[in-house]
A = this chain, B = another copy of it.
């Protein structure tokens, strides 16, 4: 796997910029592959070569704003970063992730039509791995791997979007429920 060719890198940047602009102007629904390609001045084939498909493009847009969040929970100050109790970190992490998810709900709604490989790789994997570590510290005997999935699942964009937008549920309640579940893990 060699370094990306300079024309390819240039095109990637142009595409991302064009996509951001379109999303800002007309929202996520207005984001059609043909239009992004035209705005970026490349062919649609190029777009697919770089991002795989529509949801791959959405993930790329999300990932651009992803780095700082990962830094915060990996090496930032407590309670998110190291220093706090594992379950307290887990609660803080899930709360922060909920906020983040809500912020980018439309983009995530579009991204989550992706096929599993893309969907559960990348950022999901990072979140999952982080939780596995924290749960493993707090409850050495437990199936941290599956518990981490179970705690991440309630933050799926479609469910969140429905509850917050259609049912009038407040974000705080969702976080509260997750807190309860994490707290329940302590006593076993």
Is A183 an interface residue, CB under 8 A from the partner?
yes
- With A159-B153, A163-B149 as known contacts, state yes or no: A180 contacts B120, CB within 8 Å: no
Smallest beta-carbon distance A128→chain B, Å: 10
- 8 A-B residue pairs with CB within 8 Å: A116-B161, A117-B166, A119-B158, A149-B174, A150-B178, A153-B156, A156-B156, A184-B185
Which chain B residues border A153 with CB–CB below 8 Å? 150, 153-154, 156, 159
B-facing residues in A169-188 (Cβ within 8 Å): 169, 173-174, 176-178, 180-181, 183-188
Is A143 an interface residue, CB under 8 A from the partner?
yes
Q: Contact between A116 and B149 (Cβ–Cβ < 8 Å)?
A: no
B-facing residues in A65-113 (Cβ within 8 Å): 112-113
A residues near B, CB below 8 A?
A: 112-113, 116-117, 119-120, 142-143, 145-147, 149-150, 153-154, 156, 158-159, 161-163, 166, 169, 173-174, 176-178, 180-181, 183-188
Tell which of A146, A183, A184, A188 has the most Cβ of chain B within 10 Å: A146
Smallest beta-carbon distance A161→chain B, Å: 6
- With A153-B154, A153-B156, A180-B185 as known contacts, state yes or no: A146 contacts B169, CB within 8 Å: yes
- With A119-B158, A158-B116, A187-B187 as known contacts, state yes or no: A150 contacts B166, CB within 8 Å: no
